[in-house]
Amino acid sequence: TQLLEQSPQFLSIQEGENLTVYCNSSSVFSSLQWYRQEPGEGPVLLVTVVTGGEVKKLKRLTFQFGDARKDSSLHITAAQTGDTGLYLCAGGIGMEYGNKLVFGAGTILRVKS
Amino acid sequence: SAVISQKPSRDICQRGTSLTIQCQVDSQVTMMFWYRQQPGQSLTLIATANQGSEATYESGFVIDKFPISRPNLTFSTLTVSNMSPEDSSIYLCSGEGMNTEAFFGQGTRLTVV
């Protein structure tokens, strides 16, 4: 069973602070995605990384895929109250019938003004 | 990215009854998935909805309890059968993008009383 361990589970910070969320596994993933979800909505894709060592930036968000494609991190610089939400990492696994995603436990981020 | 419409968005149902959730994608997708999520927590994959064949269920989920239909490449339904309060949850459908990333509907919040 492939597991994706995500930490921390909960993060409460002041506006302007930086933070990092981690996802780790002993399994190799074909891709790694990060999603953000707000209450009452489905998760929304932020980024997909597919190459070991890949780094992607999306404004104040920086995503990194580990060299061995087993881990990833999400770093937010100068957090804003609008960043509040549930952040989920998900690893892509090739199956006989196609691909499926394994999700981390999620990180609830609260940014206070 | 695909746009996914899911309905109903919420429902309150009596125990022992069944509810069918519909998921419509605005473009053809090869893979569609159904997930369950407790508020503020991660997603658990119920099954992969296969077009033209029986759905592939994850461990702990069975067809008698969660029958799934996938008549074409843009539509799927999930039925929650013989409901009990333990089935109260958020149910989400998703379609798969090119790099296994998922595009989600807004979810169905089910409460069983």
Residue partners of A111: CB distance under 8 A and separation at least 6: A13, A14, A15, A79, A80, A81, A82, A83, A84
List chain B pLDDT tens, one digit each, 113 residues.
689 999 999 999 999 999 999 999 999 888 899 999 998 889 999 999 988 889 999 999 999 999 999 999 999 999 999 999 999 999 999 998 776 778 999 999 999 99
Cβ contact, residue pair B101, A45, below 8 Å? yes
Rounded Cα distance, A15 and A79, in Å: 5
Q: How far is Cα of residue B88 from the mean position of the Cα atoms in its chain? A: 13
Residue B12's pLDDT is 98
Q: Which residue of A has its CA nearest to B109?
A: A40
Look at residues B1, B15, B7 and name the one whose alpha carbon lies nearest to residue B75: B7
Residues in CB range of B60: below 8 A, 6 or more apart: none
Minimum mean pLDDT among A55-69, A72-86, A87-101, B85-99: which range?
A: A87-101
Number of residues assigned to chain B: 113
How far does the CA of residue A78 sit from the closest CA of chain B (Å)? 24
Query: What CATH fold (topology level) applies to the domain A5-112?
Result: Immunoglobulin-like (2.60.40)
Delimit the domains of chain A by residue range.
Answer: 5-112
**What is the distance between the alpha carbons of residues A28 and B17, in angstroms, rounded to a whole number?**
42
| pLDDT of B69 | 96
User: A99–B43: do the CB atoms touch at under 8 Å?
Assistant: no
**Could you give the C-alpha distances from A99 to B9, B29, B90, B99, in angstroms and in order?**
27, 13, 23, 9
Q: Which of B42, B44, B100 sits opposite A31 (nearest CB)?
A: B100
Are A101 and B40 inside 8 Å of each other by CB? no
Instruction: With CB atoms and an 8 Å threshold, state whether B104 touches A44.
Output: yes
Whole-angstrom Cα distance, residue A10 to residue B25? 33
Set out the domains of chain B in order of their start, with CATH numbers.
4-112 (2.60.40.10)
The candidate with the shortest Cα–Cα distance to A22, out of A59, A54, A68, A70, is: A70
